Amino acid sequence: RRLGPSDWRRCEWAALREELDQTRNLARELGLWVVFGSVHPLTEPHRPHNSLYVVSDRGALVTRYDERLLSNTKISFMYTPGSIPVTFEIDGIRFGCSLGMECHYPEIFAEYERLDVNCVLFSTTGGSPPNEPSFAAEAQGHAATNSYWVSFSMLTYPGSDAQPACSGIVAPGGRWVAQCPADGMPAISLADIDDNPGDLSRPWRRKARSGLYEPHRVEGDPRSDGRDMF
């Protein structure tokens, strides 16, 4: 069996739009900010984006993030890649968005560190179950390396005795502060997040990357240059 290009003409775009509007209206009714995945249509004949919509607590569509680093199947047969990072702020906390398989790419998360985000919202359907624990481990690594919060959201497998990975929230040090149960049932994880004001590692790492060490390096010292001596 061979894969072929997706025929997006068969998509019920009107039905999808109704669902999007219902989600937006419910966000306004409940007073909740909502970030959720969907397919974003482009002008024909272009393929759609694989996206995250950001809806405010007033029901307004604030922005949209489009997955940039697509899998081979997605780029070959399904979607148009996005091109820019996206951030938004709620009560002084800056969020960034990531999607799909982008957890495998540290440059995505390093870019958001440079954009001063306090939390990256990462959503994925996952991959093959044996590989999904790596997604969760990478989320912890990105949080620790960049000293910010990471929200990790992925599919569950109802009926499975143990989930390969669980959705949750990772603190800036890389520790899970909240995780959904591993029973495969729909669940929500909650945590109070902040801008991590007491953290010293993030400003130091920025300083370390800015040429801090250049004046301290030595050249022409045989004890430094020689690699074949103790």
Domains annotated for the chain, with CATH where assigned, are 1-78 (no CATH), 85-199 (3.60.110.10)
Mean pLDDT computed over 187-208 = 90
Q: Which of 70-74, 100-104, 185-189 shows the lowest per-residue confidence on average (mean pLDDT)?
A: 185-189
Model confidence band, residue 39 (pLDDT cutoffs 50, 70, 90): very high
Q: Please state the rounded mean pLDDT for residues 4-19.
A: 94
164, pLDDT greater than 90: no
Task: Return the minimum-mean-pLDDT range out of 19-33, 37-51, 191-205.
Answer: 191-205
Predicted confidence at residue 53, as pLDDT, reads 99
Tell me the pairing of strands 93-99 and 87-90. antiparallel
Q: Between 166 and 79, name the one with better pLDDT.
A: 79
Cβ proximity of 173 and 97 under 8 Å: no
The set of residues, in sequence order, having a beta carbon less than 8 Å from that of 133 and lying 6+ positions away, is 164, 165
DSSP 3-state of 220:
coil
Report the amino acid identity of residue 53: Y
Average pLDDT over residues 24-43: 97
Could you tell me the two tokens for 181? 């149960």
Single-letter residue type at 42: L
Task: Decide if pLDDT at 165 tops 90.
Answer: no
The proportion of the chain whose per-residue pLDDT surpasses 90, expressed as a percent, equals 79
The model carries a pTM of 0.91
